[in-house]
Chain A
Amino acid sequence: MNKNAEKIVGVGVFLLWVVTSAAAFLLILPVIEMTLRMYASFWGDYGLYGEAYFGAAALRQYMALILGMLALGAIVGGAEYHYRFFNTEKSWRFFARVIAVEISLFLLTILI
C-alpha cells in the first residue's frame, strides 16, 4: 500500500476507533436502565422507599462502576490492539466484533 493510501486508512481507523469508543461510553446509561427495568419487573414495588428501592440503587452503583471499567478497558485495549495490528484482518475483525456487540446492546436497550 502506498503512503497516501496508508494515511487515509489510518485516519479511517482512528475515526472508527473514536466512534466505537464514544458508543461504548454512551451505552453505559441505557444498559444500566435496561437492567433496572428488568430488576423492576422481578422485584419493583410502589413507593420511593419500598423494599426494592435500595436494591435498585445499589445495583445502579455497581453497574456504573463495572461498565465504566469495561468500557475504559475496551477503549484503551482496543487502541493498543488496532495500533499493533493496524490494517490487518485481525484489526478489522476486532472492529466488526466490537460494532456487533455495541449494536446488540443498543438493540437490547430498545427492545427490553
Chain B
Amino acid sequence: MKLMLEKLVPHIAVGAKLMLYIFMPLAVLVFVLQGLMAVFHYYPLDYGEAPLLDQAMRLAQGISIYRPDLSTHPYTISNYPPGYVLALTPFVMLFGPSFAYARAISLLSTLGTAFFLYGIITHLHKGDRFAGVVAAVVFLAFPYVVEWSGLARVDMLALLLSSAALYVAVRNPTTRRGLILTAALLVAAVYTRQSYALAAPFAAFVWMWTKDRRQALRLAGLVIVLGGLLFLILNLVTGGGFYFNIVTANVNDFSLARVGDYALGVLANAPLAVLLALALLVFGFRKVPSWPFIAAYLMGATASAFTVGKVGSNVNYLLELSAALSLAVGAAVAWMRQEPADAAKAEDLLDDPDYKTRFELIHKPTSQMLLGSLVFILVGVLLGNLMHASLTSPIEARKWRLKPKNELGQLNLQVEKSTDPVLAGEYMGLLTLQDRPLYIQPFEVTQLAKAGIWDQTPLLESIRAQEFSGIFIHNYLNWTVYKERWTPEMLAAIHESYVPMEAFNDSLVFRPLDPDASYPQDYACTGAPWQLPTSGEFGMYWWSGQLLFLGADYDSPSGADRIPVYAAADGLVTRKAEWEDALIIQHDDPLNPGKKVWTVYAGMAGYDGSYIVDDFPPGVESVPVEQGQLLGYQGRRFGINAPIYLHLQFAVIGAAEDGSFPEAMEPVITQDGELPDKEMKLRLHIDGILDPQLYLNIVGSPEYGQPVWIPMLCMAEAE
C-alpha cells in the first residue's frame, strides 16, 4: 500500500498542479475581459466616478477641490485625499473629461497590485514563483476586485501604492533606502485613500520589527511625520478645507447588520480562502517564513473591512482583505510545495529507472506531498468559486449597465438640452462628460444634512424657485436609492415644483411644473368620471392599455414605503383565494349606462406578503366599496416575484355579457398565460382591456405591445 502510494502521489501532485494551470488562465481571462469592457464604455458606471472626474476638472482649472464650507454651491464634497485626482488631472488637461483613462488607471493599478503580491510571496518563499503566481491570480479572481478594477475610483491606485510599499518592505527591511521608499509609498497610499492607513503600515511595521526593531520604529516615525506634515500643509493651503472634506464631511450612518451581510458574502464567495488563511495562521506559526507578515496584514485588513458598515459603502472596503487572503493562499501553496530546485530535478528524472534516486531528492514525505496536492485542488476549487461569484454577480450586473446604450444616449441628450444648473444623481457623470461642473453630490450632502452639518434651506429654496432646468433622479428596479441620495425635504420640494417628463434607463427627468399643463389634483383629473386609484410621483408605465402607477413615499425609510391605493369608483370587490396581491371591482360603466365594467388593482404585495387591507381578505366576493376607500398599498409584486419598481398595476376590463369578470382576462392579474387576441375576444363576446384615459382623463400612449413610460398628466388640457 505504501509503495503504491509512493508511486501514485507524485502523479497526483503533477495532476493537481496541472489543474491550476487550467484554472488560472481562465480566471485571468475573465478579469481582463470585464476590465476591457468597462474601460471602453463611454457612460458612467458608478455614482462615485463623476465626483472624482469633476475634481480633476476643477484642479485642471486651478480651482481648489477642498472648500472649507458648503454654504454656497457647488454642494460637492471631496471626501478622498488628492492622490487619484492628481493622477487624473494631466489626462483631463490633455484629453478632456473621459472615464476611459480613469478606468485604465484603475485596471493597470490592479494588475500592478497582482504583480507586487506575486513579488512578495516569491521573495518570502525563496523564489517560489508558482506560489507567487497563485497569489496574484487568486487576487485577480476575487469578485470584489473584478467589480472595482474597472471603475474610475481611488481604491485600486491606493492598493497599488500600499502593496508596492509592502513589496519594498519585504525585500529591503533593514536598508535606509528601503525605509524611505516604504514610508513614502505608504503615505502616498494613505493620501490616495485614507482607509489604507491601517493594514499595510501595520504589516510593514510588524515585518520590520521581526528583522530590526529600531528600523520598525523609524518607519512608524517617518510615516507619522510625513503624513502629519502633508496633512498640515494641505490644510493650510486649503484654509481648513482639507480637514472639513476628509474628516468632518465624511459622516455616514453605520450599521452592524451591513457588516454581517458583507461578512457572510465573503464567506459565501471565498470560503476556501478563509479556510486556507485560518489554517496558515493556526498551523503555520514558526513554520512558514512569511507568517508574521501575513498574519499582521490579515488582521489589519479584517479590521479595515469592518468600515463596510458605513451607509453608502460598497465592496471597495473589501479589497485589502482580498489582497490579504490572496497572500495567505499563496503562502499556503508555497508552504506545501517541494523546493523548486528539487521539484525541477524530480520532474527531469521521472524517466529514471532508478525510482529510489528520484525520491531521495524530495525532502517532503509522501503524506505532505498528498497534503500539498489537496491544497492545490482546494485552490483550484477556490478559483472556480471566485469565477462563479464574479460571473453571476458583478459581471452580470455590469452587463445590464453596459447594454442600454440607446437609452443612455437619449438621457445624455436630455442632459445636453438642460441648461445649467442641473441637479443629478446616479448619472451626474453625463454632466462631467459634457465638461460641465457638478452643482451637487446629492448622496454626500444628504448625509451631511441628516447629521445636521449642512443647511439644505438654500437648495430647497432654489428647487422651489425652479432654478434648475432639469433634475435627474434614479429609480432602480428594486432599490429605492433615491432615499439615500436625496433628503425627504428635497424630494418633497422637487415634487411640489417639478414633474417627471421623461424616463430613460431607470433615470427620471424632472422638469419645472408647466403652468399651462394640467396635473392631477387630489387624485383626480378635472372632468374625469372616476378618480385616480393612487399617486404616481415617478410617472406611469403604459402597457397596452394597462397602467403601472409608480409611486414614491418620500418620508418613510427605504423598504417601509406605504403609498395608498384607493377604489377609483363605487363598486363591488372580489378577490379570489389565490390572489395574494390583487383584487377586482365591478362598477357600473359611466360611459355606457346599463353595462358593467371591472377595474383591476394588482401588484399590492411584496416579499413580506400582501399589502391589501384586512377588509378584503382572500376569497371575498361582491363586497361593497365606495370611491376613495382604501384598498391597500403599492407593492413590488409582478407575476411570480419578478423584481419591479414600487407600483400599482391598474386596468379597466369590459365585463362579460352576464356582467361577470371574463375568465380569459385573468392573465392580466396573474401574468400567467396569454391574453385573448381580437378573434378570441369576438368569439367570447368580450371587450378586453378598455382605454383607461376615458375613465380617468389621464394621458396615454399610442404604443401597444411593450411598456412605455409616460408622465402623469391629465388628458383634457394636455390636448
A-side residues, CB < 8 A to B, are 37-38, 41-45, 89-90, 92-93, 96-97, 99-101, 103-105, 107-108, 110-112
Contacts and interface: CB of A to CB of B under 8 A. Distances in A.
Contacts of B396: 41
Contacts of B213: none
B388 A111 contact: yes
Interface residues of B, number: 28
B23 A108 contact: yes
Contacts of A107: 19, 380-381, 384
B37 A100 contact: no
B15 interface: yes
Contacts of B15: 96-97, 99-100, 103
Nearest 9 CB-CB pairs, A to B? Answer: A100-B15, A111-B384, A96-B11, A41-B391, A104-B19, A100-B18, A104-B22, A41-B395, A96-B15
Contacts of A93: 11, 14, 350
Contacts of A89: 350-351
Given A99-B15, A108-B22, 6 more contacts: A93-B11, A93-B14, A103-B19, A104-B23, A107-B380, A107-B381
A25 to B, nearest CB: 19
Nearest to A50: B403
B271 to A, nearest CB: 13
A97 B18 contact: yes
Contacts of B380: 104, 107
Contacts, number: 64
Contacts of A103: 15, 19
B180 interface: no
B18 A104 contact: yes
Interface string B307-318: 000000000000
B34 interface: yes
A111 B387 CA distance: 8
Contacts of B19: 100, 103-104, 107
B33 interface: yes
B392 interface: yes
A110 B387 CA distance: 12
Interface string B372-393: 0000000011001101100110
Nearest to B384: A111
B399 interface: yes
Contacts of A96: 11-12, 14-15
Given A42-B395, A89-B350, A92-B11, A108 B384 contact: yes
A29 B195 CA distance: 47
Nearest to B22: A104
B184 interface: no
Interface of B: 11-12, 14-16, 18-19, 22-23, 26, 30, 33-34, 37, 350-351, 380-381, 384-385, 387-388, 391-392, 395-396, 399, 403
Contacts of B387: 111-112
Contacts of A97: 14-15, 18
Contact of A37 (B12, B351, B391, B403): B391
B673 to A, nearest CB: 19
A11 B16 CA distance: 27
Contacts of B30: 38
27 contacts: A38-B391, A41-B392, A41-B395, A42-B34, A42-B37, A42-B395, A42-B399, A45-B403, A93-B14, A93-B350, A97-B14, A97-B15, A100-B14, A101-B18, A103-B15, A103-B19, A104-B19, A107-B381, A107-B384, A108-B23, A108-B384, A110-B384, A111-B385, A111-B388, A112-B384, A112-B388, A112-B391
A100 B350 CA distance: 17
Nearest to A51: B403
Nearest to A109: B384
B620 to A, nearest CB: 37
A85 to B, nearest CB: 10
B571 to A, nearest CB: 37
Contacts of A92: 11
A112 B18 CA distance: 18
Contacts of B399: 41-44
A93 B11 CA distance: 7
Contacts of A45: 403
Nearest to B352: A89
Contacts of B34: 42
Contacts of A41: 391-392, 395-396, 399
